[in-house]
């Protein structure tokens, strides 16, 4: 056993969100939020994150709330665990790809401890959670000393492991709008082994009215410095009559939306080609679902 | 607001396997695994990867599986903690422990405490799991010796004995 120990830090246990924002404002970049801690603690131990102040948000009751409102959609707080979401029947019913993306995470313990918001705030390009939230147009609720603002998950990432969070701000929850009639969704990822993080993740949500793409959202993970929406591929579909040719065209255009690298998980060429394959597959599946065709 | 400074002594308590344990923490930077193994001398809990990947350090906090290598001890003060030492009763092994022995599901034994505690969480909730449910539930626990087949057989055997003795 290696014997790495955590370096010294000051530990705070706020019970309100206002206490969190004032601590963050006071301590700036020296401070880190701890939600489940499943990512933070190992990184602090390894020294890749140096935190002089740790702010544990586990004792703020309102952050553990979640609710489905048929008129509005689903909301959940920053301390709602991946396990709670995985086993939430309403999430599974109304947003099945979000539940699926969480469900396929293999480590059960990491789902009990880890939060979906922690996963999003990590800002890893290989998140399975961010792409499914992006295609459902989910918004983060962000609180700072100046008040509350919202930001779409799709606009949250600015660069590799960087977000739009400013000093004094943290994420208190997520709000996912309700799904309109005629909507279908799909999620795919490719992994080396089931326990490894994805080498590519693709999510799609389409809304179909009278054979036309009323709306199409596509998101990609692990093929660029950040998880992102494939906006140029979406533009190909928007308002157009559905056809296999159109879907294949969008899938090809989506290759320009990514900028994958080669690493030990996969190489650039494979990832690019898999964008095409999986975007095509995801769009077809989402369209069939939107039309009420059972997918086999 | 509760706060604790580096190196400052703080007396905290845990209910470990039903017994109240008091520990003096020197600052907040000790993990639950360190407190169990070093302060309480309960070395049944293993630490292997120290980064959340292997599940060897699994303990139950208020009945839920937690990776003690990635948990700050200070954050779970006052809570009920179950470790592998808490499973046997009056010198009699828990049916899951016995099943691991009978199935040859433990070789070096490093993964075994985590495997057994995860199996307990599963069987407490779902007394007759399918093979797929067992595999899914142990997805966060790595074994480098046994090769999983015997571990899955052990959980199946434990489910059978627990059913027959009504445990
Ligand atoms: C074994 C294992 C397997 C995994 N497999 C997968 C997988 O297959 N797919 C996948 O997508 N992910 C996977 N993960 C990643 C996992 O989902 C995340 O690490 C976890 O969700 C992080 O949540 P947390 O609450 O523990 O975050 P923490 O570790 O507490 O925090 C993570 C980071 O986010 C910041 N943060 C947390 N909450 C907030 C907030 N509310 N506001 C602002 N900043 C915040 C923290 O300061 C920290 O920098 C895996 C992790 C492990 C350990
Ligand atoms: S030692 Fe904690 S998960 Fe490996
Ligand atoms: S028995 Fe050696 S790691 Fe599982």
ipTM for the whole complex: 0.96
pLDDT at A293: 66
> Any CB–CB contact under 8 A between B147 and chain A?
no
Q: What is the reported pTM?
A: 0.96
Cα atoms in the 13 Å half-sphere on the side-chain side of A130: 29
Which whole number is the average pLDDT over B97-124? 97
Q: Please state which of the ranges A225-229, A267-271, B21-25, B139-143 shows the lowest mean pLDDT.
A: A267-271
pLDDT at A1: 42
What are the helix and strand counts (H, E) for chain B? 5, 6
Which whole number is the average pLDDT over A163-191? 95
pLDDT at A296: 43
pLDDT at A295: 47
Do residues B73 and B35 touch, judged by C-beta distance below 8 A?
yes
Pocket of ligand 2 (CB under 6 A): B 47-50, 52-57, 67, 69
Q: Separation of A4 CA from ligand 1 center, angstroms?
A: 21
Mean pLDDT (chain B, rounded): 96
Residues of B in contact with A13 (CB under 8 A): 1-3, 75
Q: Please state which of the ranges A122-136, A188-202, B117-131 shows the lowest mean pLDDT.
A: A188-202
> Any CB–CB contact under 8 A between B7 and chain A?
yes
Tell me if B4 and A10 make a contact (CB, 8 A cut-off). Answer: yes
User: How far is residue A106 from each of residues A147, A258, A264, B139, measured CA to CA in Å?
Assistant: 37, 26, 20, 5
- The Cα B65–Cα A83 span in angstroms is 11
Domains along chain B with CATH numbers:
10-86 (3.10.20.30), 95-165 (1.10.150.120)
Selected for mutation to probe chain B from A41, A191, A196, A197 (highest B CB count within 10 Å) is: A41
Mean pLDDT (chain A, rounded): 94
B35 — pLDDT class (breaks 50, 70, 90): very high
**pLDDT(A221) > 70:** yes
| B129: its two tokens | 């799991």
Q: Count the helix, strand and coil residues of chain A and give each as a percent rounded to the nearest 5.
A: 40, 25, 35
> Any CB–CB contact under 8 A between A49 and chain B?
no
For A55-107, how does the pLDDT look when each residue is reduced to its tens digit (9 = 90+)?
Answer: 999 999 999 999 999 999 999 999 999 999 999 999 999 999 999 999 999 99
Q: Whose CA is nearest to atom 50 of ligand 1?
A: A110
| B164: its two tokens | 């027959």
> Any CB–CB contact under 8 A between B132 and chain A?
no
pLDDT at A3: 62
Q: Whose CA is nearest to atom 4 of ligand 3?
A: B143
User: Between these two residues, B166 and A220, which has the higher pLDDT value?
Assistant: A220
Shortest Cα distance from A188 to chain B (angstroms)?
A: 19
Closest C-alpha among A106, A222, A105 to residue A116 = A105
Q: Whose CA is nearest to atom 3 of ligand 2?
A: B52
**pLDDT(A165) > 70:** yes
Of ligand 2's atoms, which has the minimum distance to the CA of residue A109? 3
Q: Separation of B92 CA from ligand 1 center, angstroms?
A: 39
pLDDT at A190: 82
pLDDT at A226: 94
Q: Separation of A14 CA from ligand 2 center, angstroms?
A: 28
Do residues B102 and B121 touch, judged by C-beta distance below 8 A?
no
Of ligand 3's atoms, which has the minimum distance to the CA of residue B56? 3
B167 — pLDDT class (breaks 50, 70, 90): low
pLDDT at A267: 85
A199 — pLDDT class (breaks 50, 70, 90): confident
Q: Whose CA is nearest to atom 2 of ligand 3?
A: B108
Tell me if B67 and A109 make a contact (CB, 8 A cut-off). Answer: yes
Do residues A181 and A263 touch, judged by C-beta distance below 8 A?
no
- The Cα A253–Cα A236 span in angstroms is 8
> Any CB–CB contact under 8 A between B78 and chain A?
no
């Amino acid at each position: 056993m290696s014997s790495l120990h955590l370096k010294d830090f000051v530990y705070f246990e706020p019970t309100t969100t206002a206490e969190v924002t004032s601590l963050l404002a006071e301590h700036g970049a020296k401070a880190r939020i701890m939600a489940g801690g499943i990512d933070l603690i190992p990184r602090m131990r390894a020294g890749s994150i140096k935190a002089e102040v740790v702010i544990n948000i586990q004792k703020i009751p309102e952050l553990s709330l979640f609710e489905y409102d048929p008129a509005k959609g689903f909301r959940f707080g920053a301390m709602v665990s991946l396990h709670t979401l995985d086993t939430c029947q309403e999430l599974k019913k109304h947003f099945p790809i979000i539940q699926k993306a969480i469900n396929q995470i293999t480590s059960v313990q990491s789902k009990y401890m880890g939060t979906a918001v922690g996963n999003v705030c990590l800002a890893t390009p290989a998140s399975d959670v961010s792409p499914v939230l992006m295609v459902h147009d989910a918004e983060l609720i962000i609180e700072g000393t100046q008040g509350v603002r919202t930001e779409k998950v799709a606009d949250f990432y600015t660069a590799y492991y960087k977000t739009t969070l400013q000093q004094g701000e943290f994420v208190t929850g997520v709000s996912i709008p309700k799904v309109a009639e005629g909507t279908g969704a799909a999620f795919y990822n490719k992994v080396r082994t089931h326990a490894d993080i994805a080498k590519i993740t693709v999510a799609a949500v389409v809304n179909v009215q009278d054979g036309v793409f009323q709306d199409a959202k596509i998101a990609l993970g692990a093929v660029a410095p950040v998880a992102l929406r494939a906006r140029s591929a979406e533009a190909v579909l928007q308002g157009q009559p559905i056809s296999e040719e159109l879907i294949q065209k969008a899938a090809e255009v989506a290759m320009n939306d990514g900028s994958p690298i080669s690493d030990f998980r996969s190489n650039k060429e494979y990832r690019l080609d898999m964008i095409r394959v999986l975007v095509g597959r995801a769009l077809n599946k989402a369209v069939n679902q939107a039309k009420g065709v059972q997918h086999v | 607001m509760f706060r604790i400074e580096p190196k400052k002594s703080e007396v905290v308590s845990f209910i470990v396997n039903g017994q109240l344990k008091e520990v003096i923490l020197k600052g907040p930077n000790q993990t639950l695994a360190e407190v169990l193994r070093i302060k309480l001398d309960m070395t049944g809990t293993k630490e292997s990867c120290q980064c959340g990947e292997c599940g060897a350090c699994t303990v139950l906090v208020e009945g839920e599986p937690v990776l003690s290598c990635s948990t700050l001890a200070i954050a779970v003060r006052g809570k009920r903690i179950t470790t592998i030492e808490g499973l046997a009763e009056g010198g009699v092994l828990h049916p899951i422990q016995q099943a691991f022995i009978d199935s040859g599901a433990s070789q070096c034994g490093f993964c075994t405490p985590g495997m057994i505690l995860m199996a307990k969480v599963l069987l407490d909730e779902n007394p007759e799991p399918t093979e797929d449910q067992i595999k899914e539930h142990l997805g966060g626990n790595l074994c480098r010796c046994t090769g999983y087949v015997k571990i899955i057989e052990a959980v199946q055997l434990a489910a059978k004995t627990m059913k027959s003795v009504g445990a």
